[in-house]
Amino acid sequence: MMPDQLLKIDKLNVYHGSSHTLQDIDINISNRPKAILGRNGMGKTTLCSALMGLTKAASGSVFLDQTDISSYSPESRAKTGIGYVPQGRRIFRSLTVIEHLKLVEKKDSRWSIEKIFSIFPRLAERRKNMGDRLSGGEQQMLAISRALMLDPKIMIMDEPTEGLAPTIVDDVVELLHSLAEHEIGLLLVEQNISVALEVASDILIMLNGRIVDQVTAEELKSNTQMQQKYLGINFA
């Protein structure tokens, strides 16, 4: 069973120069997948990067499975169990698909290269291709696989469906659903409201560096007023 509190973010603050990018962020993530919705420039990517330790937080703490990882380096956070799928995928352009997987291969991981290839036969086909020769969808599959191979407790995914064709988006959504079966927590950051609603049970709304609302997916689905107010879109 997954613990009740997988990831706990407590009063996290980040500054970029004089601008206060993240303001007193409090988030608790249990075994239910959570999504953060918000438009561009609201601080979503900064949050992911701060959780990974790549952006320095001015104050606040982060606990992973009851361990305080606030002072951990990015590499220690990864080892403690955060799988990071960054915005723009950040595939290593001079590594082949198979090299990406070999890079993060671990002996005692639940995820082997064969297992990844059985989930994503497309990656198996393109195993010898360089990172910069892959399509957006293939890159995304690889980025997710790369994080999974580390056998994480929780995945932090920054806009995994950005720029993907609709059929591929469906594949990614399906995969995200299956994370729960493997007892992997999920913090999904999205602009695509339909993906967020489909994958996550709880939705956090981010506006100007703050979490301004927390609703269930059901609530948000029916509340078009809220959608317009925070996200400026109509969900059809």
Partner 1 sequence: MKLFFIVFLNGLTLASLYFITACGFTLIFGLMRTVNMAHGVLLLLGAYIGYEVVEMTGFWVLGIIAGGLSCALVGAFLQAFILGRYQGDELRQTLITIAISIILADFLLWAWGGLTYQISLPEMLQGGIRLPLLNVGYSVVRLTLIGMAIVVGVLLWLLIAKTKLGIIIRAGVDDREMLQALGFEIKKIFIIVFAMGAALAGMAGVIFGSALSISPGTDIQFLLSSLVVVIVGGMGSVGGAALGALLIGLAEQYGLAYAPTYGVVFTFLIMVTVLAFRPQGILGRAEQ
Site residues for partner 1 per CB under 8 A? 52, 54, 73-79, 84, 86, 90, 92-95, 99, 102-104, 131, 146-147, 150
Tokens found for residue 91: 């595939």
Q: How far is the CB of 129 from partner 1 (least distance, A)?
A: 15
Residue 111: phi and psi, rounded to 5, are -115, 115
- 171, 29 Cβ separation under 8 angstroms: no
Smaller CB separation from partner 1, 71 or 94: 94
Smaller CB separation from partner 1, 8 or 90: 90
Give Cα 156 distance to the centre of its chain: 3
Q: How far is the CB of 79 from partner 1 (least distance, A)?
A: 5
Largest CA distance in the chain: 50
- 4, 30 Cβ separation under 8 angstroms: yes
Give Cα 197 distance to the centre of its chain: 15
Q: How far is the CB of 111 from partner 1 (least distance, A)?
A: 13
Q: How far is the CB of 201 from partner 1 (least distance, A)?
A: 26
Smaller CB separation from partner 1, 77 or 153: 77
Smaller CB separation from partner 1, 6 or 78: 78
